[in-house]
Structure 1
Amino acid sequence: MATDPVCEMEVDPDEAAAETEYQGETYYFCAPGCKDKFEENPEDYL
């Protein structure tokens, strides 16, 4: 399991609603909205 860095929800990488790469690491999200927030300012969530 992975943790959505925005809402901190547990996410199964195989079933994640969205994913993105940042600085060589893949992040998984429960919803596209969380991915959008992360991509606006990733450092806020890391």
Structure 2
Amino acid sequence: MAIDPVCKMTVEEASAQHKTTYQEETYYFCSAACKNAFEANPDKYLKEKPWWKFW
């Protein structure tokens, strides 16, 4: 499972219809709207490192 960086919903990676790569990392989205918002300003949504990245 992945977390949509825009709305924080969980997204199943295997069946995700909306995904993008930014700085060599793949991000998954619940909708085209969240994907578009992320692509317009990815740093806005990546300011804070997610808790699961610390492990």
Give the TM bin, normalised by the shorter chain: over 0.9
Task: Report 1 or 2 for greater relative contact order, CA contacts < 8 Å, sequence distance ≥ 6.
Answer: 1
Does residue 5 (structure 1) correspond to residue 5 (structure 2)? The answer is: yes
> Counterparts in 2 of 1:14-33, with a 5 A limit?
14-33=14-33
**Structure 1 unpaired stretches of 5+:** none
Cα RMSD (Å) of the superposition?
0.6
Residues matched between the structures, number: 46
**In structure 2, how many angstroms separate the alpha carbons of the residues matched to 1:43 and 1:3?**
16
Higher strand share: 1
Q: Normalising by structure 1, what TM-score?
A: 0.95
Fraction of identical pairs, as percent: 57
Q: Normalising by structure 2, what TM-score?
A: 0.81
Moved over 6 A (4+): none
